[in-house]
Amino acid sequence: MKKIEDYVRSIPDFPEPGIIFRDVTSILNDADGLALAIDSMDALLKDVDYDVIVGTESRGFIFGVPIAYKEHKPFVPVRKKGKLPCETISQEYDLEYGSATVEMHKDSIKPGERVVIIDDLIATGGTIEASIKMVEALGGKVVKIVFLMELSGLHGRDRLKGYDVASVICYEGK
């Protein structure tokens, strides 16, 4: 039986020399790999009491929605600025070169709701940190954060101290 790591395509020197790009599309392109990814992430939520799943654009949608469906939980999208049609809350965060803003609907999280955040990859942690701030501003409590892959050399967990963070695969380096 293959492990999830066997489905990840590693591309050396992309986007720049010395970087190994971990490609999630090779998991998505294989039905067994996709099922294993969803099941492995869902297993990390086995004993977690939660009300709603939040997923970040766009690969957090890919993994978060099937888990929400499987567990019969609502799904809340976190999107890039300007993509949501109703009243939103927004949070800016820093990128390597500049900044970005993410948003979620203002009525998507109710006070006291226990929230799980799902994304495909943790690198620097900026997007998830911004998502946490929005969830908490709406009165939600982040009870778990689940990633398919983690690049530990970028120290994204440092931004998420105090939260229960889990990843299916952890790669050393960047």
DSSP for the chain reads ---GGGG-EEEET-SSTT-EEEETHHHHTSHHHHHHHHHHHHHTTTT---SEEEEETTHHHHHHHHHHHHHT--EEEEEETT--SS-EEEEEEEETTEEEEEEEETTSS-TT-EEEEEEEEESS-HHHHHHHHHHHHTT-EEEEEEEEEEEGGG-GGGGGTTS-EEEEEEES--
Active site residues: 59, 96
